[in-house]
Amino acid sequence: MLSKLCAQNVAVIEKAEIDLENGFNVFTGETGAGKSILVDAICAVLGARTSKSIVRTGETKARVTAVFENISEEAMEKLKKENLLSENNECILYREIGADGRSSAKINGNIVPLSVLKEIGSALIGIYGQNDSHDLLHSKKHLFMIDSFGGLLPKRQELYKTVLRFSEVNGELKKLVAERDEANRKRELYEFQVNEIDNAALKADEEDELLKRIKVLKSSDKIIKTMQKAASLFYSDGNGPIEALGSLEKDLSLVAAEDEESEKIYDRFSSAYLELCDTLREAERYAWGFNMGEAELQKSEDRLYEIKTLNRKYGPTTEETLKFADSLRDKITKAKEDESRINLLSAEAKKIYDEAAKKAKELSELRHKSAERFMAEITAVLKDLNMKNVRMETDFKEKKLSSNGIDEAEFLISVNPGEPPKPLSKIASGGENSRIMLAIKSVMADRDTIDTMIFDEIDTGVSGSGASKIGDKLQGLSSSKQVICITHQAQIAAMANAHFHIEKNVVNGRTFTTVEEISGEKRAEEIAKIMGGDKYSSSLLDSARKMIGI
């Protein structure tokens, strides 16, 4: 329940602290005194969009605090989900609106975005007035009301889980079928591409090796001439350096035995001479090996072109091309493997869908019965609220199976004899909507999880006897809910457990609105004023005293 509301610098309210009771609370006051501003303040602290114009003239910020005690399990779960739950089962909402248009919010001292404030607030308070009939006029909400009234929400949740499970399985099935169909459409292409890559017998490092080899082959003329020049030292007609070095080697061998140093010199020279001869012979062989260089160059360049062509198509590197071929093989294999998986999923999806369809049909049958009882009870309450000729019924239409079943439902109403029932949005007036909403809330009081209900002038345009009956319903509703009602009707005000008077005064050219809890004689005077104006008679005052029991 809302135990305390504090508003500071909210329009004409400089400062107000209101301690509310658990049962039936009413707010009264002259038109323009600031009752609507109080509702605006509550809406603001519940996370509604608001304008900077709400800030009192000359002030920098408007502040609203709402303290809730003994909050519902639904509200506790939402707080727990956001890690905002307090230790004492209390919830404090805070909203600050700056004159510069900036806004901030807190829950239990923690800064939160407005979306979270609104989500938590929706579980704490419901505000109902002639302009707050969206749920009532929105046909999509009607089905939820029927399910809630009939205690069908657990079955609705079961159906939701089953349909969700079907959606998951069917989603996987559709994905697999699409992948398989895509693979089948492209199988010939995939197989051609794999064969093209496989036939090329690519190697990861082959391209680098070919580039090096081609570089060498393109320099073959220069290499051959140089190697032949080196080899020609062997064919110098006995006058070349090799012969001279060979002759010297023989001479050194003759003196090698004479002393140790000569032997060392001979050994080194002999080794170098033999290495030189071997190198020159190798140069000769290498030069002769280039006789096929031109053919090998063409072959290497053709191979490099083949590799680069494949890499441009599938690469850009040989490594990536080989990976691409592996991925194609996987797709071909997977398409074959998916076929059995598709068959299994198809059977599973059908089984789940049949289960969901069965649950939806059972839920639909229960809904029709629930709606019949719901409309009968609402009609009875409305007749008691002076809508004597009212008739309400539910228009059901079957739709494609979804998470909430196979039903679309809309409340229909007839307020005049002989008129067929039509949608609420086309028939009911603002005052009638207010009474219909009160009737629904009365019928569903024990099923509604919101603990605090605010009714904003729902008695507008209602006669004295009708107001008394609205008061009776609000009083009855307050036995299980905290009810806050802004009213202009004395009959309703007199039934409250707590009565708050809203008054506007002008002091030194500034407007101030005050909120005061009244009781006893002061309350009797306020009720007499509601009935007869400022110049009420003594008989009206006596009537007011009797109405509140003093």
Please give the pLDDT value at position 425.
Answer: 73
Q: Give the pLDDT score at 216.
A: 67
Task: In whole angstroms, give the CA distance from residue 132 to residue 139.
Answer: 15
pLDDT at 136: 67
The per-residue pLDDT for 285 is 77
Gap between the Cα atoms of 533 and 382, Å rounded: 30
Distance of alpha carbon 352 from alpha carbon 360, whole angstroms = 12
Q: How does residue 91 score in pLDDT terms, banded at 50, 70 and 90? A: very high
Give the pLDDT of residue 282.
82
pLDDT over 60 at 46, yes or no:
yes
CA pair distance 500, 17, nearest whole angstrom:
11
Tokens standing for residue 115: 């979306």
pLDDT attached to residue 47: 92
Asked if pLDDT for residue 461 goes beyond 70, the answer is no
* Of residues 443, 529, 431, the one with CA closest to residue 488: 529
Cα dihedral 349, 352, 358, 363 sign: negative
The answer to whether 498 touches 517, Cβ cutoff 8 Å, is yes
| pLDDT for residue 131 is more than 70 | no
Residue 137 in this model has a pLDDT that exceeds 70: no
Does residue 33 register a pLDDT over 70? yes
What average pLDDT score do residues 409-417 get? 91
Cis check for the bond before 316: say yes or no (omega within 30 of 0).
yes
Write down the domain spans for the chain. Answer: 1-124+451-471+481-516, 188-331, 519-550
> What rounded mean pLDDT belongs to the chain?
87
Distances (CA, A) of 266 to 234, 244, 421, 490: 22, 15, 129, 137
Strand-strand pairing, 13-19 and 2-10: antiparallel
| Per-residue pLDDT at 291 | 53
Residues 197-244 pLDDT 10s: 999 998 888 888 888 877 767 666 676 677 777 667 766 566 677 777
Does 273 score more than 60 pLDDT?
yes
CATH number for the domain running over 1-124+451-471+481-516: 3.40.50.300
Q: What is the pTM of this model?
A: 0.66
Residue range 148-167: average pLDDT?
95
Is 489's pLDDT higher than 80? yes
Higher per-residue pLDDT: 500 or 426: 500
Q: Tell which residue, 93, 104, 42, 95, has the closest CA to residue 68.
A: 93
Q: Pick the range with the lowest mean pLDDT from 180-194, 372-386, 418-432.
A: 418-432
Residues 412, 379: Cα–Cα separation, whole Å: 11
How far apart (Å, rounded) are the C-alpha atoms in residues 162 and 133? Answer: 32
Band (pLDDT 50/70/90 cuts) for residue 427 is low
**Which of the two residues, 344 and 89, has the higher pLDDT score?**
344
- Which pLDDT value is given to residue 279? 84
Token digits of residue 466: 């009708």
Question: Which residue spans within 360-497 are E strands per DSSP?
Answer: 391-402, 405-414, 422-423, 452-456, 482-486
The CA–CA distances, whole Å, from 444 to 148, 150, 526 equal: 8, 10, 32
- pLDDT at position 183 is 78
